[in-house]
Amino acid sequence: MMKLYDTASKAHKIFNPAKSVGIYVCGITPYDSAHLGHIFTFMTYDLIQRRLEDTGHEVKMVRNITDVDEPIYKKAAQLHIDYRELASQEIKRFETVMTALDFRPLFVQPKASEYIYQIVDAVKILFSHGFAYRVEEDIYFDVSKDPKFGEFSNLPEGLAVKFMQKRGGDPYREGKRSPMDFLLWKGITDPNDPAAWDTDIGHGRPGWHIECSVMSYTLLDTPFDLHGGGNDLIFPHHECEIAQTRAIRHTDLAQHWLHVAPIIYLGEKMSKSLGNMIFVEDLLKSYSPAAIRLSLMHYDYREGGEWVPDLLDESTNLLDKLNHSFSHSTPEAASDLLECIRSAIDDDLDTHTVIHLLEDFCEDNNTSRSSKDVAQAKAYVDKCRGLLGI
């Protein structure tokens, strides 16, 4: 049984889902290529998926594409291209990287643009339940109607306001009932704005938070087993998802919440504005996908940390040793390694221990001269590789 940290309860919990497991991970906004921080986040959930499949579960992994969002429109305008063309180009680049890194198949990869009218229906329900109100052409969620709002992130009010403003919100907009009220629908009056839809609630486009709520509960029902993403999404994004889903469906959105800390570079989280992003498509020109995956396993998913480029060369050397050791292993040694890797993953995805296990395996004298033994060991070796994606 897996033990995973749960953001909602602020404690480790046993994660023991039914045979079919529903997982929703907040994905990319497609206006630039995937950087190491993205891959570190998604690799965490890929590791969970691999271990669950190893134990015989069917995993319905959903990772969305946020193709209705302001950064796409801004960059498309700078490039003088249609935002849909930009999104399509960047999605293809992203999928090429994910395929190269051997990520497990997704159940669905929904795009926000495909769920506009389901989102409109959700906003209409919020109106009927008294949770939505208008400010001019825009529609907001009234957090005062939800006494539990804020419990998930548990932030002081001042810090919550700062995060809301920094992460796409508008706490000081005139006409709002509360700084914490968040956008459900943005009315568009500019006839030249290409990203708008004619709907029952007006001409415009959805806010960010309602997109993920609708996509997740439409595809996985509620409450599904696990929801996650980067830890910068805890507030406001996931706090808002929880509140509006509770108002729409009268149930929790997910049973378990897991968040991943960032990989930082030059002392800051990777971001386009700082120019400190390391793109994986560039790394793949010099390093194998397995080396990139192993290098990221040096980081604890809840801690993240400063990117150390030397880890790529270290991981390449470790892979060379592993390939030799795997090809000459005894069945006993390979079986023991597999069980130890499983135990480490089950212990809140302890990839530090996984790396040490692989290093120790290469150092120990576990080689066999018998081709029969090596053939028997191969089944265990293949499972080890499959668990880690290497």
327-367 confidence digits (pLDDT tens):
889 999 999 999 999 999 999 999 999 999 999 999 876 66
22-44 confidence digits (pLDDT tens):
999 999 988 877 889 999 999 99
Q: What is the pLDDT of residue 34?
A: 80
179-210 confidence digits (pLDDT tens):
999 999 999 998 888 889 999 999 999 999 99
**CATH 3.40.50.620 spans which residues of the chain?**
18-269
Per CATH, domain 308-388 is 3.10.350: no
- The dihedrals phi and psi of 13, each to the nearest 5 degrees, come to -135, 150
232-276 confidence digits (pLDDT tens):
999 999 999 999 999 999 999 999 999 999 999 988 888 766 778
**pLDDT band for position 158 (cuts 50, 70, 90):** very high
Q: What is the pLDDT of residue 183?
A: 97
For residue 67, give every residue at least 6 positions away whose Cβ sits within 8 Å of its Cβ, in sequence order, or none. 29, 30, 84, 87, 91, 111, 112, 113
**pLDDT band for position 54 (cuts 50, 70, 90):** very high
Q: State in words which class domain 18-269 has.
A: alpha beta
Q: What is the pLDDT of residue 328?
A: 87
Residue type, 267: G
**CATH 1.20.120 spans which residues of the chain?**
308-388
* Global confidence as pTM: 0.95
372 has pLDDT over 80: no
Q: What is the pLDDT of residue 368?
A: 62
Farthest CA pair distance, the chain = 78
Q: Which of 281, 349, 357 is nearest to 45 (CA)?
A: 349
> Rounded mean pLDDT of the chain?
94
273-293 confidence digits (pLDDT tens):
677 889 999 999 999 999 999
